[in-house]
Amino acid sequence: MKLRLEYFSILLVTLVGACSSPKIDTYVPNSVTIIFDHYNPPKFKTPGIGSFHIPMPKVSFVDSAGVYHTYTPDTLRDTLVIGCPNDFIEFALSYRDHEYIYYPLLQGDTVCVTTDSLDYPLLKSKHHPERNRIYNMNYQLRQGRTHLNLEAGTCLGSSFLTIAQNIKMIREQNWTEFLPDYCPLDSLQSMYAAYRKAYTDTIQDFLQEGLITQAMYERYRFRLRLKDHETHRMLEDTSYYRKIEPDLTEEQTYYPTFRELIEYYAVAIGQHITVVTTSHGGYADFRTMFDEIASKKFGPRAKRCLLGDCLREICKDYGVDDMNAYLDKYLQITGDSTLHDELVRQYRLDIDAGQLVLKDLQGTETTFADIKELFKGKVLYVDFWASWCGPCRAEMEPAIRLREKYAGKDVVFVYLSYNDEEEKWRKACEEEGLSSLPTCYFIQNSKNSEMLRQIELSSIPRYLVFDKKGNLVERNAPRPSSNEIVQRLNKYLK
């Protein structure tokens, strides 16, 4: 189960990038200034088999207009100034792409962000050193209450939970050699219980000492509820999503914690929804999830966020008919034409479905019909692949040998990236030695191309052969690693 949090905008934020010595020595009213000093935590890996995680934005916050922002600081030195009309803002930093730490940064403060030896964020106030105790509260609470330097709550809400639940089998099968970083479930739960008590006692002390306001205290309490949801949503029954729903309020949409909360909600609600198989694997049916959320009584901002995330997943994993149906539903329910139009442009639903529209590595747009015309008189071997497709990429090395075999002959090798992300496609092209080929293309309208419907492209890798007259003569051609492909290509060369 996954949920992509992709709400980017550039409003009411001043970014001053890569400054070697930012001169910020004066009090800046109605804002908070954050200075990043060599803040570039690496991705998380365990000492054993490692751990995979969906990349998280390094920095996130919600501005005074209620717009969610993500930001990646320069790795050496960077400064971010955020409007702060109230007493404080909630500011989020990710730790090694695996967990978020939320900070209440007080109005008018200037805060420097560095890391410790384990790359955990450390904050230091420039004007009010007494606030460092507040800013680094979580850093102190973690001491002695983490597993592999991740909070026990994080482990209970991730793949570590599966390992913890199967400790007995792991030991019986003698897999501890491959899983040296396991931790029993009761130990994780005990660590979280100790963390939770220390957290509660600490914020109560802060309030009594007058270090935080009642509003800040309530934010701390909400963050603890967020941690509770993280630790329980995968351990309890499939109705747990109902316990999250009361927290999905309009007020919470003005804090970055809301984005994490709706991810937990999506995972929880997805547990009782039928799983379907798509081109990217098996996931909860986001169409069913969309319809169920649409029927619930959430506030307009909360519902727009929840349905927007479902809509992005539908557009990523389903065909053009489903896309158009749910784009229309989303627009009718929310009135949000911005996301609707963005997805129409992203998946090129506004262009001629009769053409397969392509873009090369230089950004030049063309069509497959143009390619066939350009190479008329030659045999075309077409490879549908994607950066995320393991079997596709396993064929890239045999493909190099195949291209070498037909160098100087009338065979053209065409590579078409299907249902992919452009940045990942470009990176994969470099890694697979395709960057120097003039016939490597990114399909821009994978969802609505009539050609892809006609060839019934539902899975990849997939290979086609067109003869010298441009006729499709092999709808399911052999792979580059197959012994048959040379025989087939030679047949059409003759």
Q: What is the pLDDT of residues 88-108, one digit of tens each?
A: 999 999 998 888 999 999 999
Q: What is the pLDDT of residue 277?
A: 67
Q: How many angstroms separate the CA atoms of 51 and 63, rounded?
A: 32
Please enumerate in sequence order all residues whose Cβ is within 8 A of that of 52, keeping only pairs 6 or more positions apart, or say none.
159
Contact 108, 116 (CB under 8 A): no
Looking at this protein, which amino acid is placed at residue 61? F
User: Stretch 133-143: mean pLDDT, rounded?
Assistant: 93
Residue 362: name the closest of 416, 433, 437 by CA: 437
pLDDT band at 280 (very low <50, low <70, confident <90, very high): low
pLDDT band at 178 (very low <50, low <70, confident <90, very high): low
Residue 38: name the closest of 75, 5, 93 by CA: 75
User: Stretch 446-452: mean pLDDT, rounded?
Assistant: 85
pLDDT of 110 above 90: yes
Q: Is the peptide bond before 300 cis (omega within 30 degrees of 0)?
A: no
Residue 185: name the closest of 207, 166, 159 by CA: 166
Can you give the pTM of this predicted structure? 0.75
User: Stretch 310-327: mean pLDDT, rounded?
Assistant: 89
- Longest CA–CA separation in the chain, Å: 88
Contact 339, 311 (CB under 8 A): yes
Structure confidence by residue, pLDDT tens digits, 238-259: 889 999 999 999 999 999 999 9
Higher pLDDT pick, 22 / 126 = 126
Identify the bridge partners of residue 281 per DSSP, sorted by sequence position. 278
Structure confidence by residue, pLDDT tens digits, 292-312: 999 999 999 999 999 999 999
Contact 287, 312 (CB under 8 A): no
Interhelix angle for 257-270 vs 286-294, to 10°? 110
pLDDT band at 28 (very low <50, low <70, confident <90, very high): low
DSSP state of 79: E
Q: How many angstroms separate the CA atoms of 230 and 312, rounded?
A: 23
Q: Please name the residue ranges forming H helices in 85-184.
A: 132-135, 137-142, 152-156, 160-165, 167-172
pLDDT of 171 above 80: no
Q: How many angstroms separate the CA atoms of 433 and 414, rounded?
A: 13
Contact 91, 71 (CB under 8 A): no
Supply the mean pLDDT for the chain.
86
Looking at this protein, which amino acid is placed at residue 224? L
Structure tokens at 148: 């592999």
User: Stretch 131-148: mean pLDDT, rounded?
Assistant: 90
- Secondary structure E strands in 73-138: 77-83, 88-95, 99-106, 110-115, 121-125
Q: What is the pLDDT of residue 14?
A: 30
Query: For residue 457, with 0-12 CB atoms within 10 Å meaning exposed, 13-18 middle and 19 or more buried, which class applies?
Result: buried
pLDDT of 278 above 60: no
Structure confidence by residue, pLDDT tens digits, 384-417: 999 999 999 999 999 999 999 999 999 999 999 9
Q: How many angstroms separate the CA atoms of 95 and 148, rounded?
A: 12
Q: How many angstroms separate the CA atoms of 89 and 62, rounded?
A: 8
| Least confident piece of the model among 123-137, 180-194, 359-373 | 180-194
Structure tokens at 275: 């799983």
pLDDT band at 43 (very low <50, low <70, confident <90, very high): confident
CB neighbours of residue 453 within 10 Å: 12
| Cα radius of gyration rounded to whole Å, the chain | 26
Q: How many angstroms separate the CA atoms of 45 and 466, rounded?
A: 46
Contact 268, 245 (CB under 8 A): no
Q: What is the pLDDT of residue 25?
A: 39
pLDDT of 45 above 80: no
DSSP state of 473: E
